[in-house]
Amino acid sequence: SQQGEEDPQALSIQEGENATMNCSYKTSINNLQWYRQNSGRGLVHLILIRSNEREKHSGRLRVTLDTSKKSSSLLITASRAADTASYFCATTGGGSNYKLTFGKGTLLTVNP
Amino acid sequence: SQTIHQWPATLVQPVGSPLSLECTVEGTSNPNLYWYRQAAGRGLQLLFYSVGIGQISSEVPQNLSASRPQDRQFILSSKKLLLSDSGFYLCAWSVTGRTNYGYTFGSGTRLTVV
């Protein structure tokens, strides 16, 4: 069953703009992770935030976590056409600290 | 460095035929191994995971099975494929005993059952 639900399902922006994707989940978590998938390819791990962390940065990525609202957001700053991909949030927890449960993803299109 | 290999990249199989997808990991020992399936435009569904040789846990009842004959080898099989088995199959590994590490995914197998 799906744990995370990303919002929006699709997002189209212009190059240089910021992109924000949101994720909500239902049960307690150990950590929350964001992955990227280019069309027809495998997933690439972007960033992991632990349940006791509130914000994390990696390059142009910024992730926030609000465990009281069971939600997370991924911000990509100064987007590029190469950022076009699907982005998934995934969680571990709820008694299993190594099984990842994925949401359905947000399709991000960055127009040049 | 660790790498994960998954093959074949694409596969077209008739209904009722057998299936064998293989995944191998290099550069690490005793990894946790996973098989996921992704339907078109959907998220990933965990099918099987393994924490050691011969240890397989199934998440979704279906006509698929998994085996781990060697530490770094994970195989997804079916005796008779159904149309509903079509999808994008992804193998992944993670570090055993470490809960705050990400997964590393293979490049996937696109399976079309006709």
Q: What is the pLDDT of residues A13-34, one digit of tens each?
A: 999 999 999 999 998 888 999 9
* Averaged pLDDT for residues A70-89: 97
pLDDT of B51-102, one tens digit each? Answer: 999 999 998 867 999 999 999 999 999 999 999 999 999 999 998 766 678 8
Measuring CA to CA, which residue among A39, A37, A38, A8 is closest to residue A23? Answer: A8
Domain that holds residue B109: 3-113
Q: Do the beta carbons of residue A4 and residue A23 sit within 8 Å?
A: yes
CB A28 within 8 A of CB A94: yes
Which residues in chain A have their CB less than 8 angstroms from residue B51's CB? 98
Contacts of A103 in chain B (CB under 8 A): 43
- Across the interface, whether the CB atoms of B105 and A104 are under 8 A apart is answered no
pLDDT for residue B108: 96
| Structural domain that includes position A80 | 5-111
Distance in angstroms (rounded) separating the CA atoms of residues B41 and A32? 22
- B100 versus A65: the higher-pLDDT residue is A65
For the domain that residue A34 is a member of, what is the CATH number?
A: 2.60.40.10
pLDDT at A8 over 70: yes
Q: Please give, rounded to a whole number of angstroms, the shortest distance from the CA of B3 to a CA of chain A.
A: 13
Q: Identify the CATH number of the domain in which residue B74 sits.
A: 2.60.40.10
Of B49, B102, B107, the CB nearest to A33: B102
A104 neighbourhood in chain B, CB within 8 Å: 42-43
pLDDT of residue A1: 46
Number of domains, chain A = 1
CA A36 to centroid of chain Cα atoms: 8
Contact (Cβ atoms closer than 8 angstroms) between residue A45 and residue A32: no
**Does A99 sit within 8 Å of B108, measured CB to CB?**
no
The number of domains in chain B is 1
Q: Provide the pLDDT for residue B19.
A: 97
